[in-house]
Amino acid sequence: QQADKFGVVPNADSYHALIDACKVAQQPASAAALLDEMRENNIPILRATDERLIAAYCGMPPGESYEEAFQYLEEAKSAGIVPSESMYVMIVRKCARERDPRANVAMEEMHTFGYPIGDSLRRYVEAGGIDELIDMPNENKRLPSNGRFTGRSNNSPNGRFTGPPRQSRQYYYNPHKET
């Protein structure tokens, strides 16, 4: 209705602008509602659409659920869309900040797709998503000796990561998971 008033044609670009606004406002549920509206209006869902939705969920404050970011990554892959490097980087960085062990699995999948994993991203994960720790000497970091997060995860109801085995590569989204 408002679009007609302002002469805006509902297309992927106009929806992308609205989804970007939802990201800035930290309203990812509104971004998801826009995705549903795109589907209802037969607007094509592009890789850029999925990138924006992932960014909206990965941009949430610490402790807020970001499971939907994994859902949109899996949906993109299921639709035959090759995930972009930026999709993986956003997810890896969010997982690192949340101390989620899936950061390592996402980096492995990133590597499988042929995307380079830079030293700065590795250091960010090793530092637990804290930029200030990246340049600190190793003795000041309190991480496991193998540099991987293990055990506890902030986004699981019981604090443990209990996803399917790694080889399945369907580790991102579990629609049956209790929230």
Least confident interval from 70-79, 93-102, 126-135, 169-178:
169-178
Q: Helix, strand or coil for residue 152? A: strand
Distance CA 90, CA 3 (A): 31
Element (H, E) at 120: helix 119-126
Q: Helix, strand or coil for residue 160? A: strand
Task: Specify the pLDDT at position 107.
Answer: 96
Give per-residue pLDDT as tens, 139-175: 433 444 444 444 444 443 433 333 333 333 444 444 4
Taking the whole predicted model, whether its pTM rises above 0.75 is answered as: no
Distance CA 48, CA 70 (A): 15
Which residues have a Cβ under 8 Å from the Cβ of 27 and sit 6 or more positions away? 56
Distance CA 134, CA 143 (A): 12
The mean predicted confidence, pLDDT, of the chain is 79
